[in-house]
Amino acid sequence: MTELPGVSYVMPVLNESAYLEEAVSSILNQDYPGQKELVLALGPSTDDTNDVARRLAEKDERIILVDNPKGRTPSALNLAVEASTMPVIARVDAHSELPRNYTKRGVETLYRVGAYDVGGLMDARGRTPLQRAIAAAYNSPFGFGGAAYHSGAPEGPAESAYLGIFRREVFEDIGMYDESMWRAQDWELCHRIRSAGHKVWFDPELKVGYYPRETFSALAAQSFASGTWRAEIARRYSNGQSLRHALPPLMVAGVTAGSIAAIVASFVNGTRNPVAKRALAALSLAPALYGAFVAVAGLKSNASTLKEKALTAAVFPSIHFPWAIGYIRGRVFGAQGTVDKGRVK
């Protein structure tokens, strides 16, 4: 590769006024000598996001604005890709901040390993104690199950990629994002890339700063939607499910059964049936065991203070329970119509 290819950054944007300017700055200030353009697909935001976007576009001709009236992520991505012009396409996020060498490293890896899609680490971070605790939960294997882009792995082939740096021919050969997948569209596209015999690649040197949800309620809403759409993948694809996806529902079932057992045991404490007493006693331990795991995981997290470690422990149930309930709902009913209500106003 003698000449660095131009890069089109594509970004879905919806209700991101607090983060958009910093995200755009981190993209346009990349240490990459090739041509750059940034396509912002603007959804129907209820804050002043679109005003911020227009102001930024007026200052820099490399920023292109397209309307995304549906407000859905896959339609935003497709509109942005169609409006882009460069041979390399990099998906970016308004909640993310790219390190200065991200594009240079990503493009080099893309061509070095002959991949169609390259992704890296989601380096979750926060601006407030609670958001930092949520970020620590994201980065913990106990949070989202130890996916490579959360907790790391050696460089190599991957099932999916966080964000993604693509050769343009991906969208010409494989097709665009599936607009029926309101979430998890990345996994679905990567599935088609791998099924066509091409590489999806994980490079841990690509570390992207990411700001997660800022409140318990927004995190719970996001987790519910994520679990529901993960179940939709499992319904559609035989290889879209794994044992780790079954663990949160089993955890919810165990904690629920244990709580019921503790209540029942208090009413039948005098029973003469030793088997029933032992069974109820064993089940009753489940909530305490989950609480112990949560506490230990919070202490072992990368949160920097004891207060934030305690908050991290409190965050885990806001990830696990909504995700598990969403997953069960999605397996039974499918995910169509499910949105992240913590983001869509």
Least confident of 138-152, 174-188, 233-247, 317-331: 138-152
Beta bridge partners of 167: 88
Place of tokens 């997660």: 212
Residue 239: pLDDT band (50, 70, 90) is confident
Q: Is 184 left (phi over 0), alpha (psi -120 to 50) or beta?
A: left
DSSP notation for 287-334? HHHHHHHHHHHHHHSS-SSHHHHHHHHHHHHHHHHHHHHHHHHHHHH-
Say how many CA atoms lie within 13 Å of 51 toward its Cβ.
5
Q: Mean pLDDT over all residues of the chain?
A: 91
Hey, is 123 helix, strand or coil? strand
Percent of all residues in the chain with a pLDDT value above 70, rounded to a whole number: 94
Element (H, E) at 208: strand 200-210
The neighbour count for residue 300, using CB atoms within 10 Å, is: 14
Fold of the CATH domain 7-212: Spore Coat Polysaccharide Biosynthesis Protein SpsA; Chain A (3.90.550)
- Residues 6 or more apart whose Cβ sits within 8 Å of residue 257: 283, 286
Q: Looking at residue 278, what is its pLDDT? A: 77
For 243-299, the pLDDT digits (tens) are 778 888 888 888 988 888 888 777 766 556 677 677 777 888 889 999 999 999 999
- Residues 6 or more apart whose Cβ sits within 8 Å of residue 191: 237, 239, 240
Residue 146 pLDDT greater than 60, yes or no = no
Q: What is the largest CA-CA distance in the chain?
A: 82
Q: What is the mean pLDDT of residues 157-170?
A: 94
Tokens encoding 214: 């800022």
For 85-136, the pLDDT digits (tens) are 999 999 999 988 899 999 999 999 999 999 999 999 999 999 999 999 999 9
Q: Looking at residue 238, what is its pLDDT? A: 81
Residue 185 pLDDT greater than 70, yes or no = yes
CA distances from 343 to 119, 219, 233, 280 (A): 24, 10, 22, 41
Percent of all residues in the chain with a pLDDT value above 90, rounded to a whole number: 73
- Write down the domain spans for the chain: 7-212, 214-345
Please provide the size of the chain in residues.
Answer: 345
Residue 151 pLDDT greater than 90, yes or no = no
Q: Looking at residue 340, what is its pLDDT? A: 83
The neighbour count for residue 215, using CB atoms within 10 Å, is: 14
pTM given for the model: 0.87
Tokens encoding 339: 């949105």
Tokens encoding 85: 């012009």
